[in-house]
Amino acid sequence: MSADANDGISRRGFLAISAATLGGVMLAPGIRLIEIAGARAPATGVSKQVRWGLLIDTNKCTPGCDDCVKACATENGLKDTGHPRTDPQWIRKVELKDMRTGRASSVPVMCQHCEHPPCVDVCPTGASFKRADGIVLVDRHICIGCRYCIMACPYKARSIVFEAITDQNPDVPRGNGCAEGCTLCVHRVDRDEQPACVEACTKAGHNAMTFGDLNDPQSEIAQRVAKYASTQIRADLKLNPGVRYQGL
C-alpha cells in the first residue's frame, strides 16, 4: 500500500521533472526564466526580474465607458458613500480635449507604478513602498495618514480614506485614516490573474488594456511596446511609470 503511494509520487515527480527539463531544453533561456517567475510558488518572494506594467491603447478606449472603473470598485470594495469629494478613487477616466486640434480622447488613469515613485521618496515611515516586481503599494500597517504621498504624486493616484469602512473584501484590506491607491490588483497578480480592470476591459471586448511583464521579451505587453509608439504621462518628470499609453 505504502509502496504504491510512494511509487505514485515518484512517478508524478518524475513526470514533472522531465517536463520541466524538456521545457528548459526546448525554450529559449529568457522564456524559461519568466515561466518560473510567472508560476511563482506561494512561499517564494516576488522577483525583481519581473516588472509588471500596463499598456493602454487609447484608440480603443471609448469616451464615457467606465467598465474598468466599475470592475475596480467591485473587486476592491470601493463603495459610493454619497460623498464624492472625499471618496477614494483608485482608477478614473480622464476625458481629454485638445483645443488646438479639437481631438478628444479618453484615458483611464490609475497609480502609474513608477520606477522612481515620489510617494515612496516622501513617505516618512516607509509605508509607501515599491515591491521588487515594480508594484507600488501602501503598507497600511505603518501608514500614519500624513497625506504627504497624496501631495507628492503628480498623477493624483493616491487617496486617503475619510470614513470608517466595513465589509471589506478579505483580499483587499482598507480602513479609515490610511492612504491608498491602485495596487494593480496585487492579490490577483499573486495568484497569476490579471488586474480586475484589464479583465473587465477584455471581457467586454474593448481590449484596450494589456497587463504583463515588461521585462519578459516574449510577453504580449513587451512585444507591443517594442512595436508601437507608446508614451508615459508626464514623462518629463523621469519617474518611468510602468503604465504606458498608446495613441495619446
Partner 1 sequence: MKRKGIGALISQIARAICLLALLLPVLAFASDRVPKPVIDIDKAGKCVEDTATMRREHPDMLKHQRDSTMHEGIRTTKYSLKACVACHASKTSGSVLGEKGFCQSCHAYASVTIDCFRCHSSKPKRTSGVTP
Partner 2 sequence: MAESLIFRELAGTSRRYWGLLALLAVPLALAAFAYFYIEHYGHIVTGMDNQIVWGMPHVFAVFLVVAATGALNIAMAASVFGKVIYRPVAPLSALVSLALLVGGLALLMLDLGRSDRLIVAITKLNPASLFARRVIFYDVFMVSVGVYLWFLLERRMNRYVKPVAVIAFLSQLFLITTTGLEFGFNFRAAYDSLLYAPMFIAFASAYGTAMFVLILFAVCGWEGRSVSEELSGRLKNLLGMSVAASLFLAVLFLSSKYELLRSRDVARFMLFDGGVYTALLWLGQLAIGGVLPLALLLRSRISRATLAAACVLVVAGGLAQMYVTLIGGQAYPQILFPGLIESSSYFDGQIHPYTPTFVEIFLGLGGVALAAAILAVGLRAVALLPERLDQPAQPQA
167 binds, among partner 1, partner 2, none (CB under 5 to 8 A by kind): partner 1
For 99, half-sphere exposure in the C-beta direction (CA atoms, 13 angstrom radius) is 0
Q: Which chain residues interact with partner 1 by CB under 8 A?
A: 40, 42-46, 74-75, 129, 131-133, 137, 139-141, 164-165, 167-171, 173-178, 186-187, 190-191
Q: How far is the CB of 22 from partner 2 (least distance, A)?
A: 45
Binding span for partner 2 by CB under 8 A among 4-12, 17-25, 150-158, 206-214: 150-158
244 binds, among partner 2, partner 1, none (CB under 5 to 8 A by kind): none
* 69-108 positions binding partner 2, by CB under 8 A: 69, 83-89, 92-100
Q: How far is the CB of 152 from partner 2 (least distance, A)?
A: 6
197 binds, among partner 2, partner 1, none (CB under 5 to 8 A by kind): none
CA distance 223 to 221: 5
235 binds, among partner 2, partner 1, none (CB under 5 to 8 A by kind): none
* 212-241 positions binding partner 2, by CB under 8 A: 233-234, 237
Q: Does 148 bind partner 2 (CB under 8 A)?
A: yes
Q: How far is the CB of 64 from partner 2 (least distance, A)?
A: 12
**Count of residues binding partner 2 (CB under 8 A)?**
54
**Is there a contact between 56 and 110 (Cβ–Cβ < 8 Å)?**
no
Q: Does 191 bind partner 2 (CB under 8 A)?
A: no
Give the interface with partner 2 as residue ranges (CB under 8 A).
Answer: 69, 83-89, 92-100, 109, 118, 120-127, 142-148, 150-152, 154-156, 159-164, 176-179, 233-234, 237, 248
